[in-house]
Structure 1
Amino acid sequence: MSQGLVPHDRPCLEFDDLVRSFLPPGKSERLVGIEVECGLVRPDSGRSVRYDEPGGTRALLETLLDGMAGEPVLEDGSLVGLRLPDGATLTLEMAGAIEYSSAPTASLTEGLRRARECLTEVARVAAPLGLRLLTGGQLPFDAPDGIRWTPKSRTEIMRRYFAGLGDGGRLGDQVMGLTLSTQLSLDALDEAEYLDKLKVLLAVSPFLAAILANTPALDTGEAASSNGTASRRMTYWRRIDPARCQHLTARLYEVSALAELAETLSDLPMIYRRSGTGYVAGQVGSFRQVVREGFEDGTMPTLDDWKTHLRQVWPAVRPRQTLETRLPDGQAWEHLGVLPALFLGLAEEPAVRRKVTDLLADLRTEALDLITLKAAESGPDGIAAPIRETAEQLVMLADQGLAARVADGTESPEVLGLLDPAREWAATGRPPAEALRAAWTGPWRRRPDRYVAAMAVPED
């Protein structure tokens, strides 16, 4: 029997198991998780490298495995990552970017320290191979038809899935291959807290995405019609698979119980599932149907199948055992902490969550996508005034939330300075995308090597 599959005569998964998975027993403290995606590019061209070329991504992982005392992560026999001694992981994304996922930590201060140390070490190891770790929210110098896909069985399954959606999946390659993000994951200890945090994180996400927009279209031979975009990444996501992205975001905003959350997420079919050392395509029918009837091959789903299924949804906040923020663009290395600091400050303290709820009390479901659309645009006057003004108030509330954590000793005082860039972006209505575009056409003189030099993780 293949790994992750059980026959009909074994105890099978029940719907209540799906509900309980959001709050596993034994969770007694609230921890913080950080994920950072970085491109692996050549410093002169800014283009990603192939898995198996000399000095490519496999060579980097092999070198890291030798030097960082990690355990290999294999898929279909290929090395695609490593588990580090402190519980963090480094894994390849489908198009060769590398993702750092921290072990849960009690504070953002500690989580960011570990992330910076690890990524700086990876950058140091990558340099002799002729590789740089590119931060930000995009890989601007890779063409959609030249994406360097990694040898993962999931990759081709996902590409076929998006191709089968027609126009709704047309940008699947761009989403999987050309975008980068930074994400924060938060815990909850009971149902009320989980749902409260979910709604707050969903509500603030489009406003924060507006002031964090960081993926402008650079004039590298693309159509001029995209040149006013502040966030190509959000533009891509808004136009792909609505059932798993923007429409799902709206549905989650209305959820009022964990059972309803499980129903909403189990309405969708699996795209892929684990089998042996790799993955196979899912099947027609919702996950809830699979729970009742089993898979077409006569096996029954497990809790690991459910966890795999939850990785195949991409709303603005992904609900799992933690709540994972996903909407805003990744930021430059010098601003690595601003995104997690904003979300943590707004969602972790109950008193601040109440103030956020009061501030956004009139926000309706349909407004979430409209604000996201506006956040992806860039007009001559910057961020639209109503969005900018609300974002400015949210930055002030985030400051209150972080200050409370500093006061009770959870965070170091230095965490308050992480919000400085956000204060400026909100006050001026000018997201970092504008400065990035100005640097590209100004001092960087449209040279990819200068873009990479400015945006790469430092080697020391």
Structure 2
Amino acid sequence: MARDTTDQTPISSVQELTDYLAGGCRPAESFRIGTEHEKFAFFRDDHSPVPYFGEASISALLKGMQEKLAWEPIIDEGNIIGLAEANGMGAISIEPGGQFELSGAPLENLHETCKESNHHLATLREIAEPMGIRFLGIGGSPLWTYDETPQMPKSRYAIMTRYMPKVGTQGLDMMYRTCTIQVNLDFSSEADMRQKMRVSMKLQSLATALFASSPFTEGKPNGLLSWRGDIWRDTDNRRSGVLPFAFKPDFGFNDYVEWALDVPMYFIVRDGKYRDCTHMTFREFMSGALKGEIAEWQPNLGDWTNHLSTLFPDVRLKRFLEMRGADGGPWRRICALPAFWVGLLYDQSALDAADALTADWSVEDVIAMRDTVPAQGLKARIAGRDLLDVARDVVSISRQGLQARKRLNSEGQDESVFLNPLDEVLAKKATLAEDLLSLYHGRWNNSVLPVFEEYQY
């Protein structure tokens, strides 16, 4: 997230929080696609991570992109920590360990999404090349230890870094040593949100398997296909994972609000300063927990939207839905991940088919799959079926959904062309992580260093 929200609109009731989420409903013809992708910055000569400060640095990359794009700089305690497009549609941000992220504009089709990501990467390469900087597109940092990984001077990250070891064993690895591709998608009504949340929550671990690309840690195999997926199993389970109440037949915006109210906060922003609020839930905050401690103790809408951004379930509900299950990956996967979900969720027939396919999956089935996928990938099972077989069915449904949308490029191709990387995974019966392991044990001669050359942007 590039910029935390400042909105002084006072809030005094739970209903106002529910109404805020419901305000995201929009007609289907206005649905858009917002794609985010992260990548590791490294120096070409020695594969070391790029620090924040210096002539060749993360801050220098941001300043160079600012000059090239004329986007507005986002400043935190005097440091540039992101950029925002003038119309507020797109943004560039940095993750805690210097992972460089594009939060794409809400676009109408996947052809536009792919053009956007290609333009971003081309512009970034132009800025980075004179500094000797390149970018790696996989899901987990393959070489650097936590101590070797730089820390970005962003106020919310300092609060999170102090808090994470209190609530899980892998939160710092999540922050500093993982990358993802995500897509943000719309809903038209509470019922539409409910169905999309249910289907995507059930299938999120399938996306983890299909996009698994984090088999290395600190220079050697870690015994997993998606280290990133395993990290999320013990990061902060009060605010992450599968939400069982999302499977209820009457699940609605208020259910999510009631859950969010009882999750500890990270911070509030007052006068441009971040105040650590990890010792209270949002419900306690609304009940006056800060009264007498600060002058502006009353909660406002900016506090709520910022709190929503610090919740990490497998599918996150804001005024849209965020698909959060996939590892980062090479450039073709930046287009494949949104294609997978758009095909499933933006065509009603496809959505109904995916709903029917997963109808008999219990919460326990879904959690069990989430627990086994990081190690087993597509060899995991769900409700008595091999996940590879399920994946074939789901990708087929997604393709039908994309074809039904009939969004064509200049060559007459519909959006289903972006599923090709997943077709290759299914044909080989092997994930990218398994390809990387084969290379490591073969041509790479038990070294992870070639990954920086062969899988860079």
Name the TM-score, length of structure 2 as normaliser: 0.90
Q: Deviations over 1:151-179 (max 9, x none)?
A: 111122101111222xx2x2121110000
Q: 1:362 aligns with which of 349, 360, 363?
A: 360
Aligned 8 A contact 1:109 1:412 in 2: no
The reply on whether 1:206 has 2:187 as its aligned counterpart is no
Describe the SS at the equivalent of 1:337: helix
Correspondence for 1:335: 333
Q: Percent of aligned pairs with the same residue? A: 26
More deviation, 407-416/116-125: 407-416
Which digits, 9 at most, give the CA deviation of each residue in 1:81-105, with x for residues without a partner? 1113463111111111111011111
Q: State the partner residue of 1:125.
A: 127
Secondary structure of the residue that 1:334 maps to in structure 2? helix
- Please state how far the C-alpha of 1:440 moved relative to its aligned partner: 2.9
Task: Give me the whole-angstrom Cα distance separating, in 2, the residues matched to 1:135 and 1:372.
Answer: 23
CA contact (8 A) 1:153 1:280 kept: no
For residue 321 of structure 2, what is the aligned residue in structure 1? 323
More deviation, 21-30/226-235: 21-30
Q: 1:253/1:53 Cα in 2 relative to 1: closer, same or farther (>3 Å)? A: farther
Quote the offset at 1:420 in angstroms. Answer: 1.9
Deviates more, 1:416-425 or 1:75-84: 416-425
* Alignment equivalent of 1:291, drawn from 280, 286, 293: 286
Distance in 1 of aligned mates of 2:11 and 2:159: 26
Amino acid at match of 1:230: L
Structure 2 partner of 1:373: 371
The more displaced of 251-260 and 67-76 is 251-260
- Aligned with 2:244 (options 216, 231, 250): 250
Q: How does 1:266-285 map to 2 (within 5 A)?
A: 266-285=261-280
Q: Deviations over 1:175-221 (max 9, x none)?
A: 10000000000011211111111111111111222222111126725
Query: 2:260 maps to what in 1?
Result: 265
Unaligned runs of 5+ in 2: none
1:441 maps to what in 2?
441
Secondary structure, counterpart of 1:185 in structure 2 = strand
Summarize deviations over 1:14-69 as a string: whole Å, max 9, x none.
21121122232784411110001111111233332111133011111112212221
For 1:180 and 1:110, how far apart are their aligned partners in 2? Answer: 23
Confirm whether residue 33 of structure 1 aligns to residue 34 of structure 2.
Answer: yes
Q: Distance in 2 between matches of 1:140 and 1:333?
A: 18
Cα distance, 1:437 vs. partner? 1.6
Task: Write the distance in 2 (CA, Å) between the matches of 1:81 and 1:234.
Answer: 26
SS, match of residue 303 in structure 2: helix
Partner SS for 2:112: helix
- Contact kept, 8 Å, 2:10 with 2:300, in 1: the verdict is no
> In structure 2, what is the Cα distance between the partners aligned to 1:124 and 1:149?
24
1:412, distance to aligned residue in structure 2 (A): 6.3
Matched-pair contact (CA < 8 Å) for 1:77–1:277: no
Structure 2 matches for 1:65-84, cutoff 5 A? 65-84=66-85
Alignment of 1:139-154 (within 5 A): 139-154=141-156
Q: Is the 8 A contact 1:229 1:377 kept in 2?
A: yes
- In structure 2, distance between residues paired with 1:443 and 1:85: 47
Q: Secondary structure at the match of 2:386?
A: helix
CA contact (8 A) 1:82 1:90 kept: yes
Q: 1:209 to 1:189 in 2, by over 3 A?
A: same
Which residue identity lines up with residue 249 of structure 1 in the other structure? L
What is the identity, as a one-letter code, of the residue corresponding to 2:129? A
Deviation digits for residues 206-258 of structure 1 (CA, Å, limit 9, x no counterpart): 1222222111126725xxxx643111101111122111112x53343436111
Q: Is the 8 A contact 1:132 1:456 kept in 2?
A: yes
Corresponding residue for 1:393?
A: 393
Output the TM-score relative to the length of structure 1. 0.90
The answer to whether the 8 A contact 1:207-1:388 is kept is: no
**Aligned residue for 2:451?**
451
Change in 2 beyond 3 A, CA 1:398/1:320 = same
In the TM superposition, what whole-angstrom CA distance separates every residue of 1:279-315 from its partner, at most 9, and x where no partner exists? Answer: 2211533212322335343511111111110111111
C-alpha distance in structure 2 between counterparts of 1:303 and 1:424, whole Å: 45
Q: Does 2:22 correspond to 1:23?
A: yes
CA-CA distance at 1:383 after TM superposition: 4.8
Match of 1:56 in 2: 57
After superposing the two structures, state which structure 1 stretch, 252-261 or 141-150, moved more.
Answer: 252-261
Cα gap change, 1:95 to 1:333, in 2 (>3 Å): same
Q: Which secondary structure state, in structure 1, belongs to the residue aligned with residue 287 of structure 2?
A: helix
Equivalence map 1:101-250=2 (5 Å): 101-165=103-167, 168=168, 170-217=169-216, 220=219, 227-246=222-241, 248-250=242-244
SS at match of 2:101: strand
AA partner of residue 84 (structure 1): E
Task: Classify 1:219/1:193 alpha carbon distance in 2 versus 1 (closer, same or farther; 3 Å).
Answer: same
How large is the RMSD of aligned CA atoms in angstroms?
Answer: 2.5
Check the 8 A contact 2:71/2:83 in 1, yes or no.
yes
2-structure distance, mates of 1:218, 1:441: 15
Over 3 Å counting, the alpha-carbon distance change for 1:414 and 1:25 in structure 2 is closer
Alpha-carbon spacing, 1:125–1:322, altered in 2? closer, same or farther (3 Å): same
Task: Determine helix, strand or coil for the equivalent of 1:145.
Answer: coil
Aligned-partner Cα distance in 2 for 1:453–1:367: 39
Partner of 1:419: 419
Whole-Å Cα distance in 1 between the matches of residues 406 and 22 of structure 2?
27
Q: Which runs of 5+ in 1 are unaligned?
A: none
The alpha-carbon distance between structure 1 residues 115 and 407, as it changes in their structure 2 partners (threshold 3 A), is closer
| In structure 1, C-alpha distance between the alignment counterparts of 2:312 and 2:198, rounded to whole Å | 16
SS of 1:22's equivalent in the other structure is helix
C-alpha separation between the residues in 1 aligned to 2:145 and 2:63?
27
Q: Determine the structure 2 residue equivalent to 1:404.
A: 404
